A = this chain, B = another copy of it.
Amino acid sequence: MRNIKLTIEYDGTRYLGWQRLGDSDKTIQGKIENILTQITRSKIEIIGSGRTDAGTHARGQIANFKTDSKMALSEMIESLNRYLPQDIVIKEIEEVPERFHARYNAKGKKYSYYLWNNAIPSAFERHYSFHYSEELDFELMDEACRKLIGTHDFIGFSSLKKTKKSTTRTINELSIQKEGDLIHFTFIGDGFLHKMVRILMGTLLEIGSGTLKLETIDEVFKSKIRSEAGMTVPAQGLFLDEVYYRD
């Protein structure tokens, strides 16, 4: 059987998230599976590198699927992009070894989070950023980023209950870039727990605006208590940029 890898870009605004929900047509996975099933004329299931929440976007989500179809890759990507709604685009298609698994083989991910940091909102960034007017102390947030980088048990910064699986993750990069009123946060790590990027973001913002102290980070690492960390910021500012695999 052929194993095919897709690189997918989507504007998550209209969707309930990546993960298929029954027959719902309002998920990214469901949309792509339906079209693939039509064009290959056999039931296709795709495996994503991981879920994204309702409203979250992707510039480089990765998925793979197995098929007996002999269709050329160029024809397959063309058909996919012709029949998919315009807010979901297959950017690349590639045949990969049969053992490739988009979720199990992922060794890291890169996310972006965007903040619109001005009292006046933006007509164009409204679905692609979180409108947050508070004045922010960037030096303090940079310090907070340095505390978060490294290997830690991030369960207190996630929506997970106690679990037997490891909740230790490594953040390799966490940086902040001002692009005018748009503030761009970059997260690179070996994996992120459910809602982890959004809760880290909320914690950074509450530290930057003075609602939480810098020490909160160390305290949550110790206590592992979610409610001591910052808010969960909205999904709409979040982009899955890239998924990393060993070559």
What is A's interface to B at a CB cutoff of 8 Å? 9-11, 57, 77, 81, 86-91, 120-124, 126, 128
Contacts and interface: CB of A to CB of B under 8 A. Distances in A.
Instruction: State the copy count for this chain.
Output: 2
A123 B86 contact: yes
Contacts of A89: 120-123
A178 to B, nearest CB: 19
A10 B123 contact: yes
Contacts of A11: 123-124, 126
A201 to B, nearest CB: 20
Contacts of A10: 123
B86 A126 contact: yes
Contacts of A90: 120
A124 B9 contact: yes
A212 to B, nearest CB: 28
23 contacts: A9-B122, A9-B123, A9-B124, A10-B123, A11-B123, A11-B124, A11-B126, A57-B124, A77-B120, A81-B120, A81-B121, A86-B121, A86-B123, A86-B126, A87-B126, A88-B123, A89-B120, A89-B121, A89-B122, A89-B123, A90-B120, A91-B120, A124-B128
Given A10-B123, A81-B120, A124-B128, 5 more contacts: A11-B123, A77-B120, A81-B121, A88-B123, A89-B122
Nearest to A7: B120
A92 to B, nearest CB: 8
Nearest to A8: B123
A10 B88 CA distance: 24
Contacts of A57: 123-124
A86 B9 CA distance: 24
Contacts of A120: 77, 81, 89-91
